[in-house]
Structure 1
Amino acid sequence: MQHDDEKDPGIAALAAVAGLARSVESLTRDVAAMKKGLQQTASKTAVARLNDTVASLGNTVASFEDLLTRLAAGPGAGRGKAHNASDSSDVESVRSWLRLPEDDESAVQSVLSELLPWMEATYLRYATARETLPPCWLWHPEIVEELLWLMDAWTTAYEGDEASNKLVGDWHDRQRPGVTRRIGEYAPACDVLAHREPAGQRAVTVPLAADADPFVTWWTTGRDDNGPAPTPEQIKAGRRGDRSGSHGLAAVPNSTAGGQR
């Protein structure tokens, strides 16, 4: 979405903060002039208060200047950097297996080099985790995604800057059991033999993705009425889990003899 410069939220905020900073600087100069004029007649206490006021205004101006610098750098400045104690202004992105760049093999390798030892040392110490994790878990991106965020939550609870018994308790009481339960639901009877589909074949298709136009019209002009009637082709191809239809209506693959995907 394009914005005119005058309406762009970032530019408007930048202009507003810049104007406020100029006002504060002007006020600082006025207070300094008042202090100079009062030095001959005001008490030491009054002069000391003015000194404190000027110092406070100086700090405020410095804060505004820092904010201006960050606004000028853009809305995403600093995001994605690794957080460390020496630079608390950096913002650490939340990692996602599903959003790792497709052309960056080193990023994928880096995640697995952390995840595999953590699973052995921590996650699979729990009997329920061993019982629900299918041996074909690496074929299931949704399972890897769950395990990755659970590992990062564990790191935050035990080793992060905000590590606490409360976070540890939440990990044990809510987060780990939730992930374990969902993994069991994703692939309740799956094994390696279930993944014999030809490599490179598309694993997931969005139902009716090629037939979305009538739904756009319905939802924008007549959403109080029933939606479009399914076409004969959609009915023929629309069996749940059927991947043979020309419209690709299946969102998930078929069950196979070796297990369930």
Structure 2
Amino acid sequence: MRHDDDKDPGTAALAAVAGLARSVEALSRDVAAMKSGMQQTASKTAVTRLNDTVSSLGNTVASFEEFLARIATNRADTDRRRSGGEAPEQVRSWLGMPVHDAGAVENVLSELLPWMECIYLRYATAREALPPCWLWHPEIVEELLWLMDAWTAAYEGEEASNKLVGDWHDRQRPGVTRRIGEYAPGCDVLVHRDDAGLPIEAVPLAVAADPFVTWWAGARQTHGPAPTEAHIEAGRRGDRAQRGGLSAVPNMPAGGQR
């Protein structure tokens, strides 16, 4: 079903159903008018079959209208709960965990660790891709946390369904497993390359962002501003504590692979 981008899909569907209902009503009138003329030229069976087809179409429209009405009711209930002060369900994020809240972090890990043992690591590809130093990689914990919550929603949530389960098996779990293997290829506790205690990676050349605001806001049809000598020096790979360890100009050997 096509609808305008600025129109709610439910509203568009209701309008479409209303139009279909009008068409069915007009068709019913036509059939009634045709019956008298067809009595002399068409068999009684043909007339009956045509009448049954119109009746079936009318029943389909009625069922679809009932379905859309249930959707509208559920949406109204959701809006009413939100307006009454109920907070919408929060999606958890390891990277977005509140700072200095050890209890929240502990609660997440107390769920994640047994889930990984009982569910995730039952899959051979998951065991092969997960590095032993996974807890040192926040991006890996982030992936595993949302995957666990997706599994819970698919199997145990209010809208649990075979469709959600199939999506978890066919798309979500393989995607997370593949990305984990890309995040930390060959990494291990004994060869973990992050320097303990040092600041995390800085955004490369963040201090040079102002010219890019001007460029992208008003002249993006041209190439960006040319890098200065200071940009090049700041962008080189080198001392991770001072330069952030990432670079747009990798002319020095990178450190160990994470």
> TM over 0.5: same fold?
yes
**Alignment partner, residue 220 of structure 1:** 217
Aligned-pair CA distance for 1:228: 1.3
**What letter is aligned with 2:160?**
A
Pairing partner for 1:178 from 157, 175, 178: 175
SS at match of 2:95: helix
Q: Does 1:208 align with 2:229?
A: no
**Separation (CA, whole Å) in 2 of partners of 1:249 and 1:120:** 34
**Separation (CA, whole Å) in 2 of partners of 1:181 and 1:104:** 31
Aligned-pair CA distance for 1:171: 0.9
**Separation (CA, whole Å) in 2 of partners of 1:102 and 1:172:** 33
**Separation (CA, whole Å) in 2 of partners of 1:251 and 1:102:** 28
**Separation (CA, whole Å) in 2 of partners of 1:178 and 1:142:** 14
**Separation (CA, whole Å) in 2 of partners of 1:225 and 1:157:** 47
Aligned-pair CA distance for 1:120: 0.4
**Separation (CA, whole Å) in 1 of partners of 2:218 and 2:233:** 28
**Alignment partner, residue 137 of structure 1:** 134
Provide closer, same or farther for how the CA distance between residues 100 and 234 of structure 1 changes in structure 2, counting only shifts above 3 A: same
**Alignment partner, residue 168 of structure 1:** 165
After superposition, residues 49-128 of structure 1 pair within 5 angstroms as: 67=80, 71=83, 77-79=85-87, 91-128=88-125
Q: Is the 8 A contact 1:205 1:251 kept in 2?
A: no
Aligned-pair CA distance for 1:203: 1.6
SS at match of 1:98: coil
Aligned length: 179
Determine which structure has the larger helix proportion and give its number: 2
Gaps of 5+ in 2: 1-75
**What letter is aligned with 1:95?**
R
Q: Is the 8 A contact 1:215 1:228 kept in 2?
A: yes
The ranges of structure 1 where at least 4 consecutive aligned residues each deviate by more than 6 angstroms after the TM superposition are none
Q: Is the 8 A contact 2:202 2:245 kept in 1?
A: yes
Provide closer, same or farther for how the CA distance between residues 249 and 185 of structure 1 changes in structure 2, counting only shifts above 3 A: closer
- TM-score when scaled to structure 2? 0.62
Q: Is the 8 A contact 1:210 1:247 kept in 2?
A: no
**Separation (CA, whole Å) in 2 of partners of 1:126 and 1:221:** 51
**Separation (CA, whole Å) in 2 of partners of 1:248 and 1:228:** 22
**Alignment partner, residue 49 of structure 1:** none
**What letter is aligned with 1:138?**
L
- TM-score when scaled to structure 1? 0.61
**What letter is aligned with 2:246?**
A
After superposition, residues 39-54 of structure 1 pair within 5 angstroms as: none
**Separation (CA, whole Å) in 2 of partners of 1:70 and 1:237:** 48
Aligned-pair CA distance for 1:197: 4.4
Aligned-pair CA distance for 1:194: 3.3
Aligned-pair CA distance for 1:200: 2.7
Q: Does 1:250 align with 2:241?
A: no
**Alignment partner, residue 30 of structure 2:** none
**Separation (CA, whole Å) in 1 of partners of 2:254 and 2:86:** 44
Provide closer, same or farther for how the CA distance between residues 197 and 188 of structure 1 changes in structure 2, counting only shifts above 3 A: closer
SS at match of 1:138: helix
CA RMSD of aligned residues (A): 2.9
The one-character-per-residue Cα deviations of 1:66-112 (angstroms, maximum 9, x if unpaired) are 95x954x7xxx432xxxxxxxxxxx3211111111012110000000
Q: Does 1:156 align with 2:164?
A: no
Provide closer, same or farther for how the CA distance between residues 130 and 70 of structure 1 changes in structure 2, counting only shifts above 3 A: closer
**Separation (CA, whole Å) in 2 of partners of 1:208 and 1:249:** 11
Gaps of 5+ in 1: 1-62, 80-90
